[in-house]
Structure 1
Amino acid sequence: VKKTVVETKPVKKPEVKKQEYARKRVEEPQKKPKVEKPVVAEKPNKPVAKSEPVIKKQPVKETQTAAAATVIPSTAKPAKKNSPLQSSEVADKTNVKAYLPIEKKAPDYPRAAIRKGLQGDCTVAYSVDKQGHVQSPKIVGECHPLFARPSIAAAEQFLYAPKMVNGHPVVVKQVRNTFEYRIN
């Protein structure tokens, strides 16, 4: 029986080179020279006489559109647009203050939808009460069942500044909010 002896040599680890370049960059912040801006004297505006035409005020049917909410990192985008379909309220524009969103949070993207690679839109219709809270949200149109529950839950959390007519808050009916679910 022959025995074979194999000798192993210790493996040398490669040397770690320290880069002083990076240290110098961190230790010595660059100083920016101050740039002085010349001061320009303001020219006084000459008053211009303007004649304004007389306009008769007519009753206007009020329709309101609110801006889109900001998107949180969940990749579900809230509110393409809000478009209330008002009952026939007729009011002078000077006495009407529009409802505005105070707090809008995007819904969480359903995990099952992410696993399945589902994308889509879900429109929710609701009323905004006199206190600015959402009342009776319902899915309008086609919406995948996985997106329905988080869309309604998000809409229930919305908060608005109530619409004011003649100094009194009023209910806004049929506000629509479309949530866009996209996988990036």
Structure 2
Amino acid sequence: LLSRFDAFHEYIFLLAIGWCLGLSEAATFLGLSHEIGAFIAGVTVATSPISQYIASSLRPLRDFFLVLFFFSLGAGFHLDLLTEVLVPSLLMAVLVISLKPVVFHGLLRKLSESEPRSWEIGFRLGQISEFSLMIAFIASAESLISLNASHLIQATAILTFLLSSYIVVFRYPTPIAVSDRLRRD
């Protein structure tokens, strides 16, 4: 179907959005969340030869809704619970920042990646993903985890985002590196 509309890029854009919304709605009909349906829709489109075009044309929408998603997470974060989750989230963040790079380094070395490159990739992937925030948000909304557990995951994610960003900016090439030697596009 996607190849049939390949000549008309606007149709591909609309078809991709329709496919995402359709599978999202179908997932709720099957008792799953909208988010899982949208994820499945994305996976099915990923096998299409024009998936890169779809991804790049949907980027402005993705960024817009990502901003709204993080805003809604922040707006739902109860600062009065911060005292309860601060120490555990600090411990979890240090654990994640310490162990994830080691695990990725070990796995990538087994796949014959170079020593420096495997460490760099490990540190660049050293944070908890945004996907974990979505899962925690859904699990909390469905009462599968407590509000404290959700806040623990959110606080840990925020801390790992901050810590890993500083590690990358100070140690590895990036457009916003602190050192001129490391600043690259």
TM above 0.5: no
By relative contact order (CA 8 Å, sep 6+), the higher-ranking structure is 1
TM-score by length of 1: 0.23
TM-score by length of 2: 0.23
Computing the radius of gyration over CA atoms, which structure comes out larger, 1 or 2? 1
More strand by share: 1
More helix by share: 2
